[in-house]
Each structure stands twice: as structure tokens, then as C-alpha cells.
Structure 1
Amino acid sequence: MAAAGKLLRHQPEQHMESRLAPTPRSLADVDLRSRDIIGRGWGKLERFVFRHKRFDGEWSDEVTRDVYTIGEAVNVLPYDPALDAVVLIEQFRTCGLVWGEATWLFEAVAGVREKDEEPEDVARREALEEAGCELRTLHPVATAWSSPGGYGERAHLFVGAASLEGVGGIHGLAHEHEDIRAVAVPLAEAYAATQDGRVRDAKTIVLVQWLMLNKSQIG
């Protein structure tokens, strides 16, 4: 975003492109001046000072950005094709305290990938720990940055086929301070919740909407 009163350089495109193609880039297009850890807690806060190649081929001015990283995330939405139902988990999240809100959120199952652990193994482990369900097959949806402006988390998104008969109740690991309520609901109800504000978590909205479009692939 430009500072108030300052115009951006503007070079209009001459035509609409038929295919969305990324600009070829590599680390050679980034001049990293420094990288320092400026805070530690559950994750780490790093400060990067850098320049990068602009779209006009010139180097940018020196930029300073802070990035917070906990780890590499894995998110999975368990789905029962026979019931046409999903399981969502409800738990308290700290994010709302920033805005003075109490945020107990409905989400897909989520966990952090450990060193040398495959994302699929994390999905299966977390589905059992957080929702009490065993996944049969996993369907990759995307690998995406959660909030690339200042958060270093890369997330692996899956939908997992499972039987949700009898799934629900309170779950979580006490030593990780987890207090999780698992709720099985019809997929149509989960989708309605993404539309009316009951589901306010971005990754969960993506997974539910993907499943609405692709549920015939899940078996």
C-alpha cells in the first residue's frame, strides 16, 4: 500500500492474460542484508532487512519486515461420504484477545509438523487426537501460505475420508493445554456456517468450500 499522497508507478497491462502465470523468480532476485531473531516464545519472531527485484527490473529500496513463525501446519477436514457429513472442532484461540474478543472458533483439525514427519502422518495423528476419528484416505487440497505478509506458516490442506458414526465429544492432550469439542454436522450445515459467520477460520472456509465442489471425488 502506498503512503498517503504518494502515487504508485503505474504501467497498465495491454490485454487480459488467458493463463495465470507467475513471474520467474529465484533467491537471486532477493538481496538479503540481515536476518535476526528478535523474539522467542511458542514460536520465533525474525526481522529481515532486504531488497528485491521489482517488476520493472530495478532493485527496490531497502525494506525491513518482521515475520512470526511457529512451524509448518497441517489441516484436515474429516468427511464421511455415507453421511455426507464433516467433523469440526471448537476450541479457544488467543487471536481474539488482540481485538478484545473471546474467540472460541470452529475449525478443521490442525497440527504442527515435526522434523522428518510427513504431512499425511500429521493429519492422521491429529484427527485421532482432536476428533477421535480414523482417516481412511487423504485427498490433498493445497499447500499454501496462511498469511504471507508477516506470518511464516506454510499449511498443508487435506480432506480425509472417514466414518463419523459416533464421532464427537471432548478431546485433546492435557500436556498441550488442549480443550477441544468435536462436532459432526452435515456438510450442508458446515457450508451454511461459512456463509453466516459461525465459521470464521480461513483454512476451514477453504476446505469446506473445496469439499462442496469436489465431494464426488471422496470415497
Structure 2
Amino acid sequence: MSDERPGHDIPDGRGRIGLHRTGLDLIGNPDVRVRDVEVTSDGWHVLRRTTLDYRGRDGQWSTQTRETYDRGNGATVLLYDPVARTLLLSRQFRFPAYVNGHPDGMLVESAAGLLDGDSPEEAIRREAAEELGVRIGQLTHLFDLYMSPGSVTERVHFYAAPYVSADIEGGGGLAEEGEEIEAVVVPYDKALGMVADGRIADGKTVVLIQWAALNLFG
């Protein structure tokens, strides 16, 4: 019986191999030695179980196991109208939020998406056009954040860009991916209230609105 495994030695459902090698070549932290990486789920994204040696502050080494969920990196953008003092956001159904206590799973969010092989700037221009029908002109990079570093590898690249309502055309997401995305124009002052009372509960969007409070509309 062959011990070849999809994603390891033979292609998985997306044609990938060598998924079990991620992390084996890390040398940036002398207190960490990666011993073994196992792919435990190789669906659209990848779940790995990594065994590593970690040297604590007392100088003693211990062997630990960590699971990491790798869905690639992403990008998000705060679209704002500086004259009307409004934000252009999206509203869509998010099952993970719905199954974890959100009343209806309909989240108000900033435009966002995975890079899918593009640069962060290219990706967020693509996502803004697909989701909200906005062709971004001037784009300002803000920062890059790990949103759930305890288990998810994703790093999100944050941007801000002005928009003009007259230039919006199309949007709604990709039907072939089952997306039904509604564009929502929210006055900035109302958005602050929606963060405070929980109507905006998406982490990346809250970060961007707080950035706007400090840098745009303060």
C-alpha cells in the first residue's frame, strides 16, 4: 500500500504538492526548531500540524505542536468620500459569524479579498471593482496586520482610497462563486455608532474606521 499523500508527494485536488515543507526552512528565531510538518486537511485552504522545539526563557527546550490554517494573504480597503463624509462598505452573509452567535450572519464590511497570486494593490483594486463597482484611483497603503495569529497564518494588507458615487458601476460580487454582495453607503458618524453598538462587528472594518477617526475625519 502506497504511503504517498495528497499535498505531500502527489498533487492534491488543486494540483499542489510539497505542502508539508512549509516552515521547515525557517531560521529567523534561534529559539525555534521546526521538526516536522503534516498536512491534515488539503481542501481549498490548508490545515497543517507542525511539531517544533521551543527554547523558553529559562533556556530549556520543549517539544510543542501547533496547528495552522493557511488560506493565503489578503487585502482590504476603506473607501471614503471626504466631501460627503461617507464610507462605502459591503453587506453580505458570513456563515462562520452566523454559526458563532451573530444574529443573522449579515456582516457590514470593508471591501476585501485574498491575493490569489496578485500583488496586494492589484488584489484590492480587483476586489473593490468586483464587490462594489469602484475603480480605485489614488490608493494609500496603511499597514499590514496578522488578524488571528494564534492559528491563522493570513496577513492582511490595509489600504484607504477616496471614491466618487458617480463613478460606481456594477459590483455585487461574482455569481459563479455564490457571492451576493450589497453596497452600503454609511455616514462616517453613523459608522462610529455602529461599531459602538455592535452593528459593525468585522475586525478589519473596525480597525479601518478607527484609523479614519484618527486620520481622516477627526
Q: CA deviation at 1:97?
A: 4.7
Alignment gaps of 5+ in structure 1: 1-24
- 1:157-205 C-alpha deviation (Å, 9 max, x unpaired): 1111211347598601011111101111111111211111000011100
Counterpart in the other structure of 2:184: 183
Mapped to 1, the partners of 2:99 and 2:187 lie a distance apart of 32
Counterpart in the other structure of 1:36: 38
Percent identity of paired positions between Structure 1 and Structure 2: 35
TM (norm. structure 1) is 0.80
Q: Does structure 2 conserve the Cα–Cα contact (< 8 Å) formed by 1:168 and 1:184? A: no
> What SS does structure 1 have at the residue aligned with 2:30?
helix
Give the CA RMSD over aligned residues: 2.2
Counterpart in the other structure of 1:22: none
Please state if 1:173 is matched with 2:170: no
Q: Does structure 2 conserve the Cα–Cα contact (< 8 Å) formed by 1:113 and 1:119? A: yes
Change (3 A) 1:70 1:82: same
Q: Does structure 2 conserve the Cα–Cα contact (< 8 Å) formed by 1:119 and 1:156? A: yes
Mapped to 1, the partners of 2:61 and 2:161 lie a distance apart of 43
Q: Does structure 2 conserve the Cα–Cα contact (< 8 Å) formed by 1:79 and 1:164? A: no
Q: Does structure 1 conserve the Cα–Cα contact (< 8 Å) formed by 2:77 and 2:112? A: yes
Q: Supply the AA of the counterpart residue of 2:63.
A: E
Segment drifting more, 105-114 vs 26-35? 26-35
Change (3 A) 1:197 1:97: closer
Q: How many correspondences in the alignment?
A: 191
What is the 5 A alignment of 1:1-219? 26-54=28-56, 56=57, 58-99=59-100, 101=102, 102-115=104-117, 117-165=118-166, 167=168, 171-215=172-216
- 1:6-57 C-alpha deviation (Å, 9 max, x unpaired): xxxxxxxxxxxxxxxxxxx923331101111100222110001112232x25
Mapped to 2, the partners of 1:132 and 1:190 lie a distance apart of 21
Mapped to 2, the partners of 1:193 and 1:149 lie a distance apart of 27
Mapped to 2, the partners of 1:71 and 1:188 lie a distance apart of 33
> What SS does structure 1 have at the residue aligned with 2:62?
coil
Mapped to 2, the partners of 1:169 and 1:94 lie a distance apart of 25
TM (norm. structure 2) is 0.80
